Amino acid sequence: MLSRKNKLLLLKLLSLFSIVRGYNVLMIVIAQYLASIYILAPNLPLWKVVFDLSLFVLVLASSLVIAGGYIINSFYDSEKDLINKPRKTMLDRLVSQQTKLSTYFVLNFFAVLFASYVSFKAVLFFSGYIFGIWLYSHKMKKIAFVGNLVSALLAITPFFAVFVYYKNFETVIFVHAMFLFLLILARELIKDMENIAGDIALNYKTIPILYGTKYAKAYITLLVVLTLIPAILLIKTFDVGYMYLYFIASIVLLIFFLILLWRSSTKKHYVLLHNILKFIIIAGVFSILLINVDLVLNRIL
C-alpha cells in the first residue's frame, strides 16, 4: 500500500497534470504530427517525418509552452475557477501558487532552449508565443472581444510553427486554419457563457456580461455561420479526400448546435454546447487520416 506521503505526491502529480491539461497537450502533439505526415509533407517517407529531430523539438517546445500557458492561466484565474469549477479547483490547489510559477518558468526556459536547436528564428517565435500567452492571461482575457480573439489565435499558433518549418503555404492549409480558428473562437464565447458567475465576481468584461446573453448568442451564431464557409469550400473546392465526410458531419452538428444554443439558458446547457464544439475539433484531428486513405494504409501496412 502507498504511504500517506506517496499518496500526497501522487495527488500533487495528478493536480499538476490537471492544471497543464495534459490531455489537451497530447491532442495538439497528435494534431501536429498528423498534419505534418498527411498534409504538410505527404511526399516524404513516414520515417523521415516521424524521426525528424527538428520537428520533434518544435513539437516538444510547443507542448512545453502550451503547458506553461495553462499554468499561468490557472495562476491568474485561481479565484475565478474556485467559483466556476469548484471540484477541479480543489484538486488544482494541491499545487501551491509558488510551485505553479516555478514550473511555469522551468517549462518556458526549456522550450526556448530546445527551440535554439532548430534556429534563432524558432527562439524568437517561441519567445513571442510565451509573451503572448502571458499578456493574454494577465491582461487581455478580461477585455471583451480582444480576449476571445487573442485566445483563439494563440490556440492555433503552434500549427504555424510546423507550417513554416515545412514551408508549405498552400491555400487549402489556410482554409483549414480558418475553419479551426472560427470553431475555437465560438468555443471561447461559449466558455464565457459557462463562466459568467465567476467573471461577474471578479469584474471580467466579457461579451455576455457587457452586452447580455442574447447578444452573445447572436455573435456565436455569426461565427458558426462563418465557419460553414471554409467547411463548404473544403468540400467543394479543395481535394481533401474522404475528409469531406467529416466536414459534412460538422455542418450537420453545427446546425444542431445553433438550435440548442438558442434554447439554452443554464450552465449545464452551455457545458453541453462547449462539448459539441470540442468534439468537432477533436474529431477533426483524427479525420486528417481521411485525406489520403491509401497513403494511410500504405504507411500502416
Distance CA 277, CA 99 (A): 33
**Residue 24 CB partners (closer than 8 Å, separation 6+):** 66, 70
Give me the pLDDT at residue 277, please.
96
What pLDDT score was predicted for residue 28? 92
pLDDT of 190 reads 95
User: How does 242-258 read in b/e, with b if 16+ C-beta sit within 10 Å?
Assistant: ebbebbeebbeebeebb
Return the number of other C-beta atoms located less than 10 Å from residue 272's C-beta.
Answer: 14
Work out the average pLDDT over 201-225.
91
Report residue 100 as a C-alpha cell.
505553479
Distance CA 164, CA 148 (A): 25
Which has the minimum average pLDDT: 44-48, 162-166, 214-218, 296-300?
296-300
Residue 3 has pLDDT above 80, yes or no: no
Average of per-residue pLDDT values in the chain:
87
pLDDT tens digits for range 278-296 = 999 999 999 998 887 765 6
Residue 97 has pLDDT above 60, yes or no: yes
Higher pLDDT, 202 or 113: 113
CB 270 within 8 A of CB 194: yes
Q: Answer whether residue 90 shows pLDDT above 60.
A: no
Higher pLDDT, 119 or 301: 119
Q: How far is CA 188 from the centre of its chain?
A: 10
Share of the chain above pLDDT 70, in %: 87
Coil, strand, or helix at residue 28? Answer: helix
C-alpha cell at 139: 491582461
Fold (CATH) for 170-301: Four Helix Bundle (Hemerythrin (Met), subunit A) (1.20.120)
Region 206-217: mean pLDDT is 92
Beta-carbon-side half-sphere exposure of residue 55 (alpha carbons within 13 Å): 23
Q: Where are the domains of the chain?
A: 9-143+157-166, 170-301
Supply the pLDDT for residue 110.
96
Output the pLDDT for position 142: 81
The pTM for the full model equals: 0.88
Which of 38-42, 139-143, 238-242 reaches the highest mean pLDDT?
238-242
The single-letter code of the amino acid at 99 is: T
pLDDT the model gives residue 161: 87
